Amino acid sequence: MTTRRDLLRRGAAAGIVVLGGPLLLSAQQQEPLAGQGEAGLLRDPVSAGRARERATDRDNDEFVKALEHRLQCTCGCTLDIYTCRTTDFTCTYSPQLHKEVLALQDEGKTGDEIIAAFVAKYGEDVLMAPKAEGFNIAGYVVPGVAILTAGAVLTAILRRRSLTRQAALAGAAPGASVEANDPGVPVLPGGTGTPEELARLERELRELDP
Amino acid sequence: MTLLGTFALWTGLLLGAWAMLVGFSGRWHAQPALAVSVTRATHAMFAVMLVASAALWKGLISHDFNIEYVASYTSRNLPDYFIVSAFWAGQKGSLLFWAVVLSGFSSAAQWLTSARYRALLPYVAAVTSGVVSFFIVVMLFASNPFERLPFTPPDGNGLNPQLQNIGMIIHPPMLYLGYISITIPFAFAIAALLSRRVDTGWLHAIRKWTIMSWLFLSIGIVLGMWWAYVELGWGGYWAWDPVENASLLPWLTMSAFLHSVMIQEKRGMLKRWNMALILGSFLLSIFGTFITRSGVIASVHSFTQSNVGYFFLAFLLIAGILGFTLLYTRWDRLEADVQLESMVSREAAFLFNNLLLVGIAFSVLWGTLFPILSEAVRGTKITVGPPFFNKVNVPLGLLLLMLTGIGPLIAWRKASTANLKRQFTWPVLTGLVAGIAMVATGSRDFYAVVAIALGAFTTGTLVQEFARGTRARHKMYGESWPMAFGQLVARNRRRYGGYIVHAGMVIMFVAFAGMAFKTEMEATLKPGETATLKSPYGHTYTFTHLGVSQFEQLNRVVTQASVQVSKDGKPVGVINSEKRQHFSEPAPGVRQKSFEPSTEVGIRSGLQEDLYIVYAGSVQGTEEAVYRFTINPLVLWVWMGGVVLVIGGLVTMWPGSAGAGVTRRAQAGYEVQLAGAGSAS
């Protein structure tokens, strides 16, 4: 015999099935794409890019980083090895070059020796900046020399002209040098102009300013 | 539509040829109707370029993949807003973009230029039409955006993921607008030389154009830096890439011009120099396009390279030879009205400022071209990368920063010792205090300390200038302090707008110096594991890897790695970094992966420092993630400096600015009366 309590139980169960079923089903259908567990598998690892190797302490070694900043990746990206291997994750060259740096370091080579080994193997263009020797010196020196030369010439010309001008002024109106600031700005009373000059300046400004 | 587009290009070419023929021939001197005809030709040219652009838009929007350009740079599932940027994402579209914008500027120049300079306009029309025609020729004979394929692919290649960024909707057009608008001052310069009207009149006609060009270049460059920072993922914003350098070159020469033109306007000096700067800026803008398009120098901007670079090289050489030959033939007419009075004057400071700006431009150009030179001389390929440019240019940049502070402190014409003492005391003290404070707090990076000290010095200069000007107005006119400040800027927008630009530059230089203190590390973390990194300010950041999720979004599968960040033990929030695998859908339900997975950086910006997190990938397809954590100090200030710089530029070019007043003052002999020291003009 079905008691009232059984009826309620069955009704509740049916309700759960009717109402909760779709929810449970949709929960199953909406299974998260994320990995499961502590380090679960990705559903679509290819979309996450090339598989990576675990980073080690040596990857963060300042000596290695500094060296790799001086060496260009050979993939054609124009970046240095460190930047490329930590930026362009599709590049297969920079991780390999990084390993070469580590291997040379393991051989006990100094920084300069590692750089020299790279130049010997990959050519001079593996350096992010050319060595300051031979023709390359021109690369470093020419801009500075050009600016200094132009500065010296400019100074000489200006000096000559200002002396000529001052000589002419001295003949025409002795003691006529003034501090004329930008005409758009009022000069403080007690500054460089006389009260008459300032009054005239103020009159002109009122008259001329839009 | 492609037929209409091609027809529009041919019509534009004919109109351009007519405008050049009549404009350069000078026959309009005798027959004024011809001058009207030339003006109308520029308007018509703009109209047909609009038609050509509409034709390409139609192809892009309707996914007409039979058009080679549409198939190359879009796909069916490309979000609509990136279809906008597809217009200039490729070379063919950007050539059309250049042509339509330049024809628009050309038409606007004819329309907006004051009647006083009407005599120059037919020449201006001839020059601008010539440049537009050059772009049309390149499109018609080498890089036609309306070229059709022999078949219709079911879907396009899609847009390069790195270009699917909001910055790329704004950055390239801004830069192009800067490059393109330089053509108008160039055209006026050529017109002034051809018509022998080389007084300062043509400078007044181009004043707004030069500031606008400089402003667009500035916005384009800063946006490009921002795009590189958020999109490329290497943790910086400037890599001295040849294409970046190419955008900097005309900006530097235009900056030099904006300073030196004041000397010509106020004192009638530097006429030849200013003419040369305008010609040089235009040529450098074309050079930038040549670098971008030719691939003659290796660059990360390789998505637009082709053989049209050599068209640009030929155009560059022809324009350069003609322009400078013309300048040479008018050399005597460009004699200065007056000579410099003193080495210690604002004019002299401006000259040295110009020397440095042009010197830096030369240095950047030299470094950019040195690999070619080296290969030609030694037969050996070399690389000239950031270490070279930093070594050569950082000291020059700091010198420029110093001159930015010195210039406003020195009086026009001649400064006395008392004037110098009064002007320099506070700014120098400010700079010294800042430098000492930096050293006292443990900073040992020489350039960073110098940059901060010079930044403080220049800030001192600017604050002093604003304070003195405001105080002067307050005292003389009885204005309230805010009113006095507002009026000070409003009454001389050019000067104080310029100071605001300088303030923006100071902010940016100080922010650049901040990058000397950046810290970074790589770490591999399983969910729940942590890594710690100390910031330059002494804070300890803890990064806890939460997990990796994958989901679909728009036209891509997103792999998102999440990191919980805490600062000195207090939670800061969650930062996500992503890998995005884009795909195309040639048919419903059919997917093809397009491009390699791209990286989206997770950034949390702050006033002190940015947290910059890059999800490098996963270990063996698991949630175990490899990260690069970087702490970049002061980066937010780079963008804020850029905003201040743009505000300053807008203040400078705001209508009703100094132009009329200054002209009237100059006409009234204002400077002569004030100085009482002989003629100034």
Question: Residue A24: is its pLDDT beyond 50?
Answer: no
Interface test with B, best of A38, A69, A89 (most B CBs within 10 A): A89
Q: Average of pLDDT values for B91-116?
A: 93
pLDDT of residue B417: 84
Please tell me if residue A146 touches chain B, with a CB cutoff of 8 Å. yes
Q: What are phi and psi of A16, to 5 degrees?
A: -60, -45
Please tell me if residue A18 touches chain B, with a CB cutoff of 8 Å. no
Question: Residue A5: is its pLDDT beyond 70?
Answer: no
Q: Which residues touch A186 (CB under 8 Å, ≥6 apart)?
A: A201, A202, A205, B469, B472, B473, B476
Please tell me if residue A47 touches chain B, with a CB cutoff of 8 Å. yes
To the nearest whole percent, how much of chain B has pLDDT over 70? 94
Q: Directed axis angle between helix B446-477 and helix B417-440, to 10°?
A: 140
Cβ of A188 within 8 Å of Cβ of B668? The answer is no
pLDDT band per the 50, 70, 90 thresholds, residue B256: very high
Tens of pLDDT, residue by residue over B530-552, are 999 999 989 999 999 999 999 99
Cβ of A204 within 8 Å of Cβ of B665? The answer is yes
User: Which residue ranges make up each domain of chain A?
Assistant: 53-155
Q: How many CB atoms lie within 10 A of CB B126?
A: 27
Q: Average of pLDDT values for A68-83?
A: 91
pLDDT of residue B672: 39
To the nearest whole percent, how much of chain A has pLDDT over 90? 40
Tens of pLDDT, residue by residue over B350-408, are 899 999 999 999 999 999 999 889 988 988 888 899 999 999 899 999 999 999 999 88
Q: Which residues touch A118 (CB under 8 Å, ≥6 apart)?
A: A71, A100, A126, A127
Question: Residue A54: is its pLDDT beyond 80?
Answer: yes
Distance CA B681, CA B666 (A): 8
pLDDT of residue B608: 92
Kindly identify which residue of chain B lies nearest to residue A46, measuring between CA atoms: B621
Cβ of B388 within 8 Å of Cβ of A129? The answer is yes
Q: Directed axis angle between helix B658-667 and helix B201-227, to 10°?
A: 150
Cβ of A48 within 8 Å of Cβ of B299? The answer is no
pLDDT of residue B625: 94
Chain B residues touching A163 at Cβ < 8 A: none
Lowest mean pLDDT among B224-228, B249-253, B294-298, B329-333: B294-298
Please tell me if residue A67 touches chain B, with a CB cutoff of 8 Å. no
Of B386, B551, B628, the CB nearest to A128: B386
Q: Average of pLDDT values for A138-158?
A: 92
Tens of pLDDT, residue by residue over A89-103, are 788 899 999 999 999
Q: Average of pLDDT values for B143-155?
A: 93
Chain A residues touching B526 at Cβ < 8 A: 38-39
**Nearest CA to CA, how far is B588 from chain A (Å)?**
21
Tens of pLDDT, residue by residue over B37-47, are 999 999 999 99
Interface test with B, best of A41, A158, A169 (most B CBs within 10 A): A158
**Nearest CA to CA, how far is A6 from chain B (Å)?**
45
Amino acid at B370: F
Cβ of A184 within 8 Å of Cβ of B660? The answer is no
CA distances from A194 to A179, A190, A200, B418, B665 (A): 12, 8, 10, 16, 20
User: What is chain A's mean pLDDT, rounded?
Assistant: 75
Please tell me if residue A196 touches chain B, with a CB cutoff of 8 Å. no
Q: Is B149 helix (H, G, I), strand (E, B) or coil?
A: coil
Distance CA B186, CA B210 (A): 10
Top pLDDT among B412 and B395 is at B395
Chain B residues touching A59 at Cβ < 8 A: 522
Cβ of A178 within 8 Å of Cβ of B528? The answer is no
Distance CA B638, CA B609 (A): 11
pLDDT of residue B480: 93
Kindly identify which residue of chain B lies nearest to residue A141, measuring between CA atoms: B392
B90, exposed or middle or buried, with CB in 10 Å at 0-12, 13-18, 19+?
Answer: buried
Cβ of B472 within 8 Å of Cβ of A50? The answer is no
Cβ of B384 within 8 Å of Cβ of A139? The answer is yes
Cβ of B359 within 8 Å of Cβ of A147? The answer is yes
Question: Residue B501: is its pLDDT beyond 80?
Answer: yes
pLDDT band per the 50, 70, 90 thresholds, residue B667: very low
Question: Residue A181: is its pLDDT beyond 60?
Answer: no
Chain A residues touching B366 at Cβ < 8 A: 139, 142-143
To the nearest whole percent, how much of chain A has pLDDT over 70? 61
pLDDT of residue A174: 47
Top pLDDT among B478 and B200 is at B478
Q: Average of pLDDT values for A149-154?
A: 92
CA distances from A203 to A163, A200, B266, B672, B673 (A): 34, 5, 21, 15, 12
pLDDT of residue B406: 92
Amino acid at B340: L
Q: Is A33 helix (H, G, I), strand (E, B) or coil?
A: coil
DSSP for residue B144: -
Q: Is B316 helix (H, G, I), strand (E, B) or coil?
A: helix
Chain B residues touching A83 at Cβ < 8 A: 234
ipTM score: 0.81
Kindly identify which residue of chain A lies nearest to residue B369, measuring between CA atoms: A139
Amino acid at B365: L
Of B321, B287, B312, residue with least CA distance to B182: B287
Question: Residue A2: is its pLDDT beyond 60?
Answer: no
Question: Considering the domain A53-155 in this protein, what is its CATH number?
Answer: 1.10.8.640
Cβ of B411 within 8 Å of Cβ of A181? The answer is yes
pLDDT band per the 50, 70, 90 thresholds, residue B554: confident
Lowest mean pLDDT among A42-51, A129-138, B129-138: A42-51
Cβ of B359 within 8 Å of Cβ of A150? The answer is yes
Lowest mean pLDDT among A184-198, B225-239, B518-532: A184-198
Cβ of A55 within 8 Å of Cβ of B522? The answer is yes
Of A38, A54, A86, the CB nearest to B527: A38
Question: Considering the domain B517-636 in this protein, what is its CATH number?
Answer: 2.60.98
pLDDT band per the 50, 70, 90 thresholds, residue A198: low
Cβ of B381 within 8 Å of Cβ of A83? The answer is no
Question: Residue B635: is its pLDDT beyond 80?
Answer: yes
Chain B residues touching A72 at Cβ < 8 A: 383, 385
pLDDT band per the 50, 70, 90 thresholds, residue B294: low
Distance CA B147, CA B93 (A): 11
Of B321, B184, B198, B339, residue with least CA distance to B254: B184
Please tell me if residue A125 touches chain B, with a CB cutoff of 8 Å. yes
B338, exposed or middle or buried, with CB in 10 Å at 0-12, 13-18, 19+?
Answer: middle
User: What is chain B's mean pLDDT, rounded?
Assistant: 89
Please tell me if residue A131 touches chain B, with a CB cutoff of 8 Å. no
Question: Residue B180: is its pLDDT beyond 60?
Answer: yes
**Nearest CA to CA, how far is A17 from chain B (Å)?**
30
Tens of pLDDT, residue by residue over B210-219, are 999 999 999 9
Of A33, A143, A189, the CB nearest to B550: A33
Edge to edge, the sheet with strand B609-618 lists B519-525, B625-633, B609-618, B602-604
Interface test with B, best of A118, A179, A198, A205 (most B CBs within 10 A): A179
Question: Residue B419: is its pLDDT beyond 90?
Answer: no
Tens of pLDDT, residue by residue over B561-600, are 999 999 999 999 999 999 999 888 888 878 888 888 889 9
To the nearest whole percent, how much of chain B has pLDDT over 90? 65
Top pLDDT among A161 and A205 is at A161
Question: Residue B316: is its pLDDT beyond 90?
Answer: yes
Cβ of A52 within 8 Å of Cβ of B469? The answer is no
Placement of tokens 């910086």 in the chain: B236
**Nearest CA to CA, how far is A171 from chain B (Å)?**
12
Placement of tokens 């300073």 in the chain: B259
Question: Residue A19: is its pLDDT beyond 70?
Answer: no
pLDDT of residue B511: 95
Q: Average of pLDDT values for B104-116?
A: 92
| B669 token code pair | 């002999």
CA B583 to chain centre: 33
pLDDT of residue B128: 96
pLDDT of residue A122: 94
Question: Residue A131: is its pLDDT beyond 60?
Answer: yes
Please tell me if residue A130 touches chain B, with a CB cutoff of 8 Å. yes
pLDDT of residue A21: 44
pLDDT of residue A160: 84
Of B235, B340, B527, the CB nearest to A39: B527
Question: Residue A157: is its pLDDT beyond 90?
Answer: no
Chain B residues touching A197 at Cβ < 8 A: 674
Chain A residues touching B661 at Cβ < 8 A: 184, 208-210
Top pLDDT among B648 and A167 is at B648
